[in-house]
Structures are given as C-alpha cells and as structure tokens.
Structure 1
C-alpha cells in the first residue's frame, strides 16, 4: 500500500505544487497558458511521436484496448447526455458537456505521468492509443453536437464539417501520430539529432503538465457543486473503470485481450482518470461556465482517493510490464 500511495502521492504533490505557485503569485493565468500550450503543442506530440515511431504499426491499433475504450466512452457519453437532459433538465449544450465530463479522460496530463510511475513500459503505448482515440473520436463528437446545437439555435457557428476537418488537420497530436506511423511503417532509423531533442521534450511532459493542472485548479471553486457535479464525478471515476473492467473480462472470455497483457491494467487506470483539462475551457466557449469548472476540481480532488484505490486493487506496481 505504501508503494501505491507513493505513486498517487507523487502525482498529486506536483498538482499541489502548481496550485501553490499560482496562489502565491509565482505564476499567473498567462504563464499557465504558455506552459499548457507548450505541453499540448510540443511535449505531448513529442511523446506520441516517440511512442508510435519506436514500435510496429500494429501495436498502435490494439483491437481489444480500442474496443473497450470505444464501448466505455460511448456508453458513458450516451448515459451522461440522457441524464443531464432528462433527469436534470439541462439544455442540449449542458448535456453535451456533462457527457464529456463523464467520458473523456485526462490521459495526457495525468494518465501518462501516473503510468510512468506505475507501469513505465506501458505508459507511452497506452498514451498513444488513448490520445489518438480521444482526438479522432471523442473531441470531434463533442464539437459536432455543440456546433449543431449552436447552429440550430441560430448562432454564428462555422460549418461543422470544416470545423472538425480543420481541427484534425492542424492538431499537433494528430500530426505527430501520423508522422510516427509513417516512420514506423517504412522502418526509418532516425538520427540522434532528431531523436535527442524529441526525447528531451517528451520527457518534460509529465512535470509541466501536472503543474499546469494544479495551477488551473487554483482559479476554480467548489461552491457551485450540486447533485449534477457529484453524478458526473461518480460516473467518470467509478462507473467508467468498472465498465471497462467488465468488458475486458468479457472479451478475454472470447479470446481477445490487449497485447501485451499489461495494457489491460493500463487501460483501467486511463478510464479512472478525471476529465481532460480542456473540458471546462471548451465548455466555456459554448456558454457552460460553472458546472464543468466545478466538476474538474471535484474530480481531481476525489481522484486522489479513487485512483489510489484502483492502483491498490490492480496491484500495479507489482505487475510485470511485459505482461
């Protein structure tokens, strides 16, 4: 248990450091924006590129992993949309971002650093799978629903198809993913002058991203919490990993498992993460100001307990990384 607490404690200590730095005025919102932009445009793409280019192309598309991720994400998204719309009487926009809070995990800013401590050999592999899925499926789904509702309500939104196409074509993560796939497909041996800088930038991702998460939380408040925020939090941190666990076992009974085997526990950690950090930022663009921000703060605080429990239940520090 001490080993487990040392992993979750390390992650949340860095988050707390970011919170303290902002509260004491060392960093302000502009500094966090710069650090966040660095992670999104440089560090995470470098990680994705390194992860994808250094292994066979087939490893980037593990069918069992992606099938469970797809099923759990869409199931929670659909349930979240229905709950917010029909049980809480929310608008279609509120339902869209409630669903996002239940189904889109912070795999880059929290998941990768945590797996880097618990399952270091699987961290980059799982990150590549999650971030390609999130950027190709979940974020476009959120944008399609939000833009469709904005257009239906008579807003000045751009056409949905051009918006999604532009996002995918200019996303540093997507560009890094396809560049890495191209390098892996042709078996290109990259020179040290390329791999050296990529490694240095990629290795900076974990610490910077966690400090950014903590700094962002300093501006949020728990006073807007209500039944909806607690429902979204419980669904994301408890229901999603439980469903993923059940689906992994169902697929295993059919002879389909992630390869290597340690990808299974990595997937369970990824599904147990709080919502992605852009969740309240994206929601704000569509007029959802309070609930997403409060949800992100609540999920981050509660996840210290839930993620520690997940690590303990899985015994992750003792699982051989090669499966």
Structure 2
C-alpha cells in the first residue's frame, strides 16, 4: 500500500498544489491561457508522438479494443442520459451534459501521466487509442445532441464541417496520427529534435495536473446538484466495472491494455464537460460542481483501484 500511496499522493499532490496556488495567488482566469496552450498544443502532443512512434505498428491496429472501450463508455453515457431525461425530467441539452459528466473522464490531463506512472510505457498505446477515438466521438455527439435540442445554430452542412475540423485539427489527434506514421515507417527524429520532444513530453504531466488544480480553484463549489447522486457512482464505479467486464469478455488483450482502459474509465469527470456546458449555456454551475466532487472522491477510488491491481486482486482477464 505504501508503494501505491507513493505513486498516487504526488500525482494528486500536483492537483492540490495548483488548487492551493490559485487560492493564495490571485490571478485572473485569463492567466491560464498560455499554460493551457502549452499543454494542449505542445507538451501532451509531444508525449503522444514520442510513445506511439516507438510502438510496433501492429499494436496500433487493435480496433477490437477501440470498439469495446468506446462502446462501454457510451453505454454509461446512455444510462446517465436516460436517468436525467426520464427520471429527473431534464431537457435534452441538460441530459446530454449529464451523460458526458458520467462518461467523459479526464483522459487528457490525468490519463497519460497516471497510466504511465502506474503501468509503465506499455500503457502509452492504449491511452492514445482511447483518447483519440473517444474524443472523436465526443466532438461529434456534443454538437449533434445540442443541434437536436436547438442549442446549435447553423445549416447541417456547416455544422458537419465544423465538427470535422475540430476532429482533424485537434493537436492530440494530429500528434497521434504522426506517431502512427512514424511507427509505420520506423522514423527516427534527429537527436536535437528528439531531445526537444523529450523535454516537452516530460513537462506534460506536471503542467497538466497543476493546471487542473488551478481550474478547479477558479470554479468553487456553490451547490451540490441532485443529479450528482447518480452521476458520481456512474463515473467512478459503474464505468470502470463495465469496462473491466466488457474487455474481459471480448478477451485476447494484453493485461496492461485492460488495466489501462479500466484506470482511464475510473478517472473523474473531464474539465471539458464544463467547457461544453459553458459553450451552450447549459448546466454550467452543476457541471463545475460535478468535476470538483468526482475529482476529490477519485483520490480514494483510484487509489483503491491501483491497490487492487498491484496486489493481484484484480485479474487481468475475468474470462481467460
């Protein structure tokens, strides 16, 4: 347990330091702009490129893994969406943001750093695959559902073009695609370029976690939404359990890949859910509260999950 604590506490400690710094050092929210730009456009893309480009190409074509993990995530989305729509009688737009809050984990900021620390470099490929394909679907689902709800204005063709542009030009997806091409052709960057990529990749996790803590501090908890009582169990418990069951049932995956997918599924709600709510003027304050609460509770739930994995109490495949 001491080994798990030594892994998790520094990780969440970076989030706490970001939170504490933002509370003590008053800066406008706009001050985060350049740090977020560095993380999204340089540091994390460098990390994805570095790890994917050095992976054997045949490991990058596991579409059975991608399909299983993405379908599991959207099963959770559907369940939370239905709970909001039919049990709470929320609007289509509100139910969509709730569904994303229950299924859209922090796989961008928290995922790579935690998975690589806990499971090593073999976790890089499943992290990149899950991130890219889940985000492609998130980029499609959110505007499509908001269009159905009447929150997205514009012609269908223009909307489709806007979605395609977000997908094709996203730096994480571009860097992963570059990594796939590099793996296929066995490209080896020149030494100065490789050192620059290494420097950027090493900065990804600490900068992303610090930025996440600052973001949480800038959105203080004002009230606990009633929907939190089914969103939190769905995100922190149901999502990883279903991921574990589905991937074990489909089978024939590397144990590290299964553990990586389960770990990513157990992460708290992504800060992008608040961004989506803010973009469409829907469920903003409650999305912020959900992110804060799931992040705080995930300290315990993720620590427990890592302990179960490390102690061998969670077999890599339930149905060998």
What's the TM-score, normalizing by structure 1? 0.90
Q: Once the 2 structures are TM-superposed, how far is the Cα of residue 96 of structure 1 from its aligned partner?
A: 0.9
Q: Distance in 1 between matches of 2:190 and 2:59?
A: 23
Q: Show the counterpart of 2:273.
A: 279
Q: Once the 2 structures are TM-superposed, how far is the Cα of residue 316 of structure 1 from its aligned partner?
A: 6.9
Q: Distance in 1 between matches of 2:312 and 2:172?
A: 29
The secondary structure found in structure 2 opposite 1:221 is coil
Q: Distance in 1 between matches of 2:127 and 2:290?
A: 23
Q: Once the 2 structures are TM-superposed, how far is the Cα of residue 26 of structure 1 from its aligned partner?
A: 5.7
Q: Show the counterpart of 1:267.
A: 261
Q: Distance in 2 between matches of 1:122 and 1:316?
A: 19
Q: Show the counterpart of 1:224.
A: 223
1:165–1:9: structure 2 CA closer, same or farther, 3 Å change rule? same
Q: Show the counterpart of 2:118.
A: 118
Partners of 2:48 and 2:172 within 8 A in 1 = yes
1:136–1:57: structure 2 CA closer, same or farther, 3 Å change rule? farther
Is 1:308 paired with 2:303? yes
Q: Show the counterpart of 1:108.
A: 108
Partners of 1:110 and 1:209 within 8 A in 2 = yes
Partners of 1:39 and 1:208 within 8 A in 2 = yes
Q: Distance in 1 between matches of 2:150 and 2:82?
A: 19
Question: CA-to-partner distance for each residue in 1:131-164, whole Å, 9 max, x for gaps?
Answer: 2112222232222212342367xx4587320111
Contiguous gaps of at least 5 residues in structure 2: 315-320
Q: Distance in 1 between matches of 2:138 and 2:57?
A: 22
* Pairs within 5 Å for 1:312-323: 312-315=307-310
Partners of 1:119 and 1:317 within 8 A in 2 = no
Q: Show the counterpart of 1:245.
A: 244
Q: Once the 2 structures are TM-superposed, how far is the Cα of residue 294 of structure 1 from its aligned partner?
A: 0.7
Partners of 1:109 and 1:213 within 8 A in 2 = yes
Q: Once the 2 structures are TM-superposed, how far is the Cα of residue 265 of structure 1 from its aligned partner?
A: 1.0
Q: Distance in 2 between matches of 1:232 and 1:267?
A: 20
Aligned residue pairs, count? 313
Partners of 1:150 and 1:157 within 8 A in 2 = no
Q: Show the counterpart of 2:86.
A: 86
Q: Show the counterpart of 2:293.
A: 298
Q: Show the counterpart of 1:181.
A: 180
Q: Show the counterpart of 1:44.
A: 44
Partners of 1:151 and 1:157 within 8 A in 2 = no
Q: Once the 2 structures are TM-superposed, how far is the Cα of residue 317 of structure 1 from its aligned partner?
A: 9.6
Partners of 2:139 and 2:163 within 8 A in 1 = no
What's the TM-score, normalizing by structure 2? 0.91
Q: Distance in 2 between matches of 1:241 and 1:131?
A: 15
Partners of 1:66 and 1:129 within 8 A in 2 = yes
Q: Distance in 2 between matches of 1:151 and 1:318?
A: 46
Q: Distance in 2 between matches of 1:17 and 1:157?
A: 45
Partners of 1:63 and 1:258 within 8 A in 2 = no
